[in-house]
């Protein structure tokens, strides 16, 4: 075999191999990399092979809680004036655009380890909902509620209910209507006799320097009709410091759950006093010393027709880096006819992602 023949044979072999490799590359499946979705804000990414954007958010919080010895804390009795609590939250939100508007769904879990009962830790589903355009279906925050205090220490608090809701917004004005399962709002106070869902409605207005909301609700409970109205206004004080704001709010109703939404103070007795005149009022203020250090203070009063309760609370929040928060807060509650109140508070560290 001559050198020329050997070279020609080698070249032919390389050509055949190269052709085979080229053929293999031409039929290789493309890699579907995860892509960022910026259509719905930060944190969303496309589920591979679909036009659906998904966001996963969560948090883990550890806290040291303390209270006066006269208080029964977290539903249990113990002689110590402190306890440890660990909480976690995990939210999944999926969104896409359709010819009917935004199509979305949300699943939100909360887990809590507080040794309050034999069932600790507890895991709950706080939100299971879907929406398309203006229509929302599922278990999520009531249309009636919203607009509590910055210091987690006032009476107005969101309640999650099974509902069918419609909402429209235009030029800063919003209107919402909800039909809700009354068992979520009234619990055992509802009894076993009811024939209609709760009907709630709300109107919102958002302007450059302030936001406002007015809501109303009607329920048929244990043979009687009850109602509630609530409102709040938030005034932005960016002239003092970026993010500063003050909020005023209140509620009135013959249905106690429309006035006292949270599981505290007079909630246990207040919800049972359906038909009485219940009212509440609060003021809350938030101030940023810097973008990483802020404080908030809230004051509120609640009356359920036969007794009253007032409370005050404040916090100091430090965010040293994005996703990490350290907080200390306290609260003082006095319930008539008592002349002395109950102190509660906590120191917490929270990681959000």
Give the C-alpha separation, 195 to 209, whole Å: 43
**Closest-CA residue to 158 (of 122, 117, 200):** 200
pLDDT, position 158: 76
pLDDT value for 121: 81
pLDDT at 66: 87
Query: Using CA atoms, how far apart are residues 43 and 266, in angstroms rounded to an integer?
Result: 40
38 half-sphere exposure, CB direction, 13 A CA radius: 0
Topology of domain 134-321 in CATH is Porin (2.40.160)
The predicted pLDDT at position 185 comes to: 85
Which residues of the chain are modeled with pLDDT < 70? 1-32, 69-79, 116-119, 153-157, 189, 191-192, 261-275
Among all chains, which residue has been given the structure tokens 């809350």? Answer: 284
Element (H, E) at 185: helix 182-186
What are the structural domain ranges in the chain? 134-321
CA angle 224, 229, 235 (to 5 degrees): 165
pLDDT at 269: 44
């Amino acid at each position: 075999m001559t050198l020329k023949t050997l070279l020609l044979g080698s070249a032919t072999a390389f050509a055949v191999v190269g052709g085979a490799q080229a053929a293999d590359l031409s039929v290789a499946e493309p890699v579907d990399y995860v892509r960022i979705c910026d259509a719905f804000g930060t944190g969303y990414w496309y589920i591979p092979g679909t036009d659906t954007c998904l966001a996963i958010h969560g948090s883990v919080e550890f806290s040291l809680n303390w209270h006066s010895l006269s208080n029964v804390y977290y539903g249990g009795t113990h002689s110590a004036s402190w306890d440890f609590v660990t909480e976690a939250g995990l939210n999944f939100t999926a969104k896409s655009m359709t010819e009917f508007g935004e199509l979305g769904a949300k699943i939100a879990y909360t887990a809590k380890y507080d040794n309050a009962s034999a069932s600790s830790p507890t895991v709950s589903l706080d939100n299971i909902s879907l929406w398309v355009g203006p229509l929302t279906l599922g278990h999520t925050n009531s249309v009636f509620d919203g607009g509590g205090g910055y210091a987690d220490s006032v009476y107005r608090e969101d309640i999650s209910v099974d509902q069918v809701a419609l909402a429209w917004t235009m030029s800063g004005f919003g209107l919402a209507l909800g039909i809700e399962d009354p068992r979520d709002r009234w619990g055992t106070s509802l009894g076993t006799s009811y024939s209609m869902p709760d009907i709630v409605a709300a109107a919102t207005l958002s302007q450059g320097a302030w936001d406002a909301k007015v809501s109303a609700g009607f329920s048929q409970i244990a043979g009687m009709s009850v109602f509630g109205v609530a409102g709040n206004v938030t005034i932005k004080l960016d002239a003092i410091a970026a993010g500063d704001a003050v909020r005023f709010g209140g509620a009135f109703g013959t249905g106690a759950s429309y006035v006292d939404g949270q599981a505290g103070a007079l909630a246990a007795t207040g919800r049972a006093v359906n038909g009485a005149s219940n009212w509440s009022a609060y003021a809350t203020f938030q101030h940023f010393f810097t973008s990483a250090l802020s404080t908030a203070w809230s004051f509120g009063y609640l009356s359920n027709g036969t007794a009253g309760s007032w409370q005050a609370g404040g916090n100091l929040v430090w965010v040293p880096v994005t996703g990490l928060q350290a907080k200390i807060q306290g609260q003082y509650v006095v319930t008539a006819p008592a002349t002395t109140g109950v102190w509660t508070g906590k120191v917490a560290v929270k990681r959000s992602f």
